[in-house]
Structures are given as C-alpha cells and as structure tokens.
Structure 1
Amino acid sequence: MRVRRDARDVREVQQARPASPARAPEIRSFVAVGDSFTEGMSDLLPDGSYRGWADRLAARLAAEAGDGFHYANLAVRGKLIGQIVNEQVELAAAMEADLVTLVGGLNDVLRPRCDLDLVCARLEAAVARLAPSCGTLVLMRTPARRGPVLERCRPRVERLFLALDDIAARHGALLVDLYAPPVMGDPRLWADDRLHLTADGHRRVAEAVWQRLGHPATFDWQTVLPPPTPTRWAARFGADLRFTRQHLLPWIGRRLTGRSSGDGRPPKRPELAPLAPVVYEEG
C-alpha cells in the first residue's frame, strides 16, 4: 500500500478516533503477537524473566473470565514485521482466539534504510489474516521515548501510524494510541536501554488496552509524572556513557553483522494454554 498522507494529519486522526466499545466483549482466550514491546522487555520479574503489558492484561482477563481462560504470547524481541508475518501470524490465526493483539513495524522504521510502503503492506497482510480469525483484534500506536532518536525517526514513525489508522478502519480493528499522550514519552517510564518501557510503563499500557476493550478504568494511565528532580551534568554524562557501552554499541554491532537479539529465541508462551485465574493486583 502507498502511504500518501502527511504526518501533520496525525492530530486530525487522533481527534476522529472512535470511542471504546460500549460493552467489553467476553474474552476467554488471548493471543499476543509482536516484538520486544509485547514480549515484555524491560518489565523484570524477580527471577530475571520479563512480565510486560500483555502478561499483565492476560492476568486481568483471566481474573475476569474465571476458569477456562487461555493465553499465548508469540512475541519475540528484535522481530521485523516480515518475520512477525512469517513466524507468528499464521499460528495466531489458527488459534481462533477471542482477542488478538498485533504490534509490529517499529523495528523496521527505526532503521534508516526502510521501505515504508513494504512495511505497511506487510502489516496490512497480517491484519487481513488475523481480523477474520478472532473475536477482537487490537492494534497499537506504540509509545516513543522523547529524545534525539525519536526526532530523527519521527517522520517515518508518524507515517507508519497514519497507515495503521487506515488499516484498523478497513478491517474493523480497535486501535490503542500510546504515542500521543505526553506521559508515555517521559524518559522516566523507559528502561536504561532507552528502547523499552519500565514496569510502570507496561502497567499503563495494560490499563490502556483494558479500557479500550470497554472495561471500566482502574486508574488514569495518562496521568503525567511529577516534575523531575534536576540532575547534575556529571550524572547525565555518566548515564550516557553507560547507555553507549551497555546498549548502543552492542545494538550497532548486531546491525552491522545482521544479527538480532531474538535470533534462536522461542516465544515464552507458544501454545494457547490455560492461565489460572488469580486475584489480580496492580504492581
């Protein structure tokens, strides 16, 4: 598909976005499809594994549904939209779940040599396959951390999101906008790698999807954080050095050698398996 609209149209689309369903659909099965954002990086659990917004949402849905709720998370870090289509979409469609979430494409547009038309075409192909196979399909405008990386990529990111609006409308998918609310760009909601959300960031995403499905709010996920405490130049410089050494240089190395952080890594929940209901508590 061709992406023809200018990124300025983002604000107009946000104002025209439809409201959440008047009544939340009954959901007894949930399949999450995507990359590191949906895998849950960097919402760390005590054992070193990742939780993430999808696991948090699944726990809430299981508590709502009671016995018999099933959940699969096929997402794997580092995946491009073509890999998501080839490795995850057909599996998810075959599961015929009540709810499917699909997030992808941002890893593509963060690369300087990106065929955005091809990315959007692959994204639409995924949506066209998934939408008829599930009860509710949810797409997302993913959040972006404020900073120089976003500014360099902003035109491509916003063109992707404009295309996503059209795709969602054509295929009857729900769209969750995590890009527009200022709080989701606050660096304090982002981990040290500056690419993935903290636990509080994932908690807010789970609540945003929960509300978009038509459930009553449990808190205002768009609430801004209090003013930041000023930091000294030396502390900021030290943080930048650690980020460069621990995250940026390894990321560049993987790009130069054609490797991905997800190479050889299986999804954490590859089967649509029972998820026991528990008393859900935010945290």
Structure 2
Amino acid sequence: MNNVSVERRVSFRSVGLPAEHGSWSLVSEPILLGLLAAPSWAGAALAAGAFALFLLNRPFKIYWNDRRRGRAYERTAVARRAVLIYGLIAAGALALALALGGLRPFAPLGLALPLLAVFVAYDQRPGRYWQAELAAPVAFAAVVAAIVLAGGWAWPSALALWGFMAARAAPAVLFIRARLRLDKGKAVAPGDSIPTALAAHVLALGAVAALVWPGWLPWTALLAAGLLLARAAWGLSPWRWRSSVKALGVLETVFGVLAVALVALGYWLE
C-alpha cells in the first residue's frame, strides 16, 4: 500500500518538465534570437512546435523505458499523458508553420538530424555523456535558422545565426562542466578541463569573427562572443565568484540572454 500511495503522488511537473535547468536556457536562446531578428507568424509557429518537441523528450524517455522493461507505474501514465499533450501541440504548430511558410524553413532542421541522432544514441544510456550534452544544443540551435528563413531571410545569414548559436552553446556546455568539477574539487575528465573550455571559447570568437567579416552577422556578435569568453576566463580563474549550482545556472542564463540581445540589437541598428 505504501508503494501505491507514493506512486500516486507523482506530479505532472516531475515527469513532464526537463530536470536540467541549463537546457531551458540553451533551448530558449535560439528561439528568442530568431523571433527578435525576424518575427513572423510562421516563425512563431515553428518556435512553438520546436519547444513542444523539447518538452516531449523527458516524458517520452520515461514512458519508453518503463514500457520496454514491461513495467507500468503511475509515472508511466503521467508520462504517456505528457507525450500526447506535447505531441499534439508540436504536430499542430509545425503543421501551421508548414502552411504559412512552406518547406523551406524546415531544411535546417533536416540538416540537424545527424546531431540529433548522436544525442538520442547517448541519451538512452544511463549516466551523462558530453557527446549528448554537446550534440543536443547545437542541433536545437538550427531552430534559429528555421525561424529567420520563415521570416524571409537569405540562407547565408540564416546559417550564420545557427553558427553563432552553436558557438554560444558548445563552449557553454564545456564551461559549465569544467566549472562544476572545479567547484567540487573533482579530478579533471577528458573534455572537462579548463584549457579545453577556454580554447573552445577562443575558437568560438574566431568563428564568429569569420561570420561577421562578410556581413553575415552584425558586429555586435563579436561583442557577444567576447563577453562569453571573458565570462569563461573569470569563471574558471582563482578569482571566480563563489556560487551554488542554481545561482551558476541563473548567471549563465543572464549571460546567454545578454549575448542574444547584443546580436539582435546589431540587426536593429542596421
């Protein structure tokens, strides 16, 4: 009886919402940038559909794993309900985007499928893998290209925005992993070292500069990349701020929104 009562207390929030706080920021940023840079009804529908698919991942994983093992808990039923809700929202929103914008905006999402496959392959395994943590945000960053294409943008600028969001997301993942290990005094793991995180930010700055030079990104994108590099250098230094994991996540969200705002501002000033 005790087990049954515990299972019945499973909430929709615990099953239907992602547990990783950082994923909310890395998913919301490309959507926000796309809508700020090129607002359109088709883009808004694409954004809604993409966000619903993001929310669908956790309950689908719970439901699929339970059913695969031949188990049925209260959480299984809650997860199934969440999958149906998010699935219907995603299908309806993406169908509306297709009706309003045609197939063209969906092309970047197709290009992101190999990265999504990498994420799915590693996400099904127990534990946390850097491959999944890097592949997922870079794949989802394709949404910004899809949104601006729906707004009538040309391909070079759309892909450049995807490049900027990838240059934001991948180094951010490495920064957070290195910072958490540093704060907890854990041994350095491959890919989680301070030099790796800083090198990734330097490479990101160079990549953004290469996209700004031909005019595919506004010059404020360089300011944004420089801000993120400075944040990483300070955050991984002996003089870094001392904060909880939750506070670190909030700060990272703030830096991400500032970076997005700087890029959007560059387009508005043109």
TM normalised by structure 2 equals 0.31
The answer to which structure, 1 or 2, has the higher relative contact order (CA under 8 A, 6+ apart) is 1
Between Structure 1 and Structure 2, the one with more strand by share is: 1
